[in-house]
Amino acid sequence: MSKIIEQTERTKLKRIPKRGSFDRETVYKILDEAFICHIGFSVDGQTFVIPTAYGRKGNTLFVHGSAASRMMREMSKGIDVCITITLVDGLVLARSAFHHSMNYRSVVIFGKAEIVTEESEKNDALFTFTEHLIKGRWDDIRVPNSKELKATTVLKLEINEASAKIRTGNPVDDENDLDLDVWAGVIPLETKAGKPINDNLLKENIAVPDYAKDYKRV
């Protein structure tokens, strides 16, 4: 598979294209750090953008959900979807309102999803999905039974038409504003886990696993 994702008319970045990337590894890295995507799709002329979790295995993105969910039902038909993933790395405070910005890494993927029917592939997708959220968890938990597998729709989408966009660094102020007595700079932002809280119904003598104690995204 080529290291560079082929650019299409739909993925051509227009504003500040130098922030764009079509490097497959760059796209994968963003996908692996984030865990929420927004899926855009249209039904009868109405557009919906729904947030959901996902997992990645190789070049395949998996999403899952209740078979009753509109998003899963519609996506199962193989309609065109647009999936966006966003990581916010900082608030960029410029000297002028106009130049305020954010540092970010984001990915936009276009494609059509396909339903996963084969039980072992479905199970593998759910493994990918769980491990994407928290690595090491799958080995500890009860795996889905066939009734649960039946109640879950799993969809897969190949990452063949995608773009990444990355903004880093300082504000870009107008030359004339550099003399203003206003603080300017970046407030870094990151996803940080708090201390795990035991479930009220937790049996005695079960320690918090390391993957929960030391949870972080990268």
Ligand X SMILES: Cc1cc2nc3c(=O)[nH]c(=O)nc-3n(C[C@H](O)[C@H](O)[C@H](O)COP(=O)(O)OP(=O)(O)OC[C@H]3O[C@@H](n4cnc5c(N)ncnc54)[C@H](O)[C@@H]3O)c2cc1C
Which residues lie near ligand X (CB under 6 A)? 10-15, 86, 88, 102, 104, 106-108, 163-165
Closer to ligand X at the Cβ: 152 or 163? 163
For residue 106, how many other CB atoms are within 10 A of its CB?
A: 18
CB of 155 to ligand X, least distance (A): 21
CB of 142 to ligand X, least distance (A): 37
Min. distance of Cβ 99 from ligand X in angstroms?
11
Q: Which is nearer to ligand X, 3 or 147 (CB)?
A: 3
For ligand X, the closer of residues 66 and 191 by Cβ is 191
**CB atoms near residue 124 (< 10 Å):** 15
CB of 199 to ligand X, least distance (A): 34
Nearer of residues 110 and 127 to ligand X, judged by Cβ: 110
104/129 with CB nearer ligand X: 104
- Comparison of 32 and 119: residue with beta carbon closer to ligand X: 32
| Contact criterion met (CB below 8 Å) for 207 and 196 | no
From CA 75, how far away is CA 202, in angstroms rounded?
37
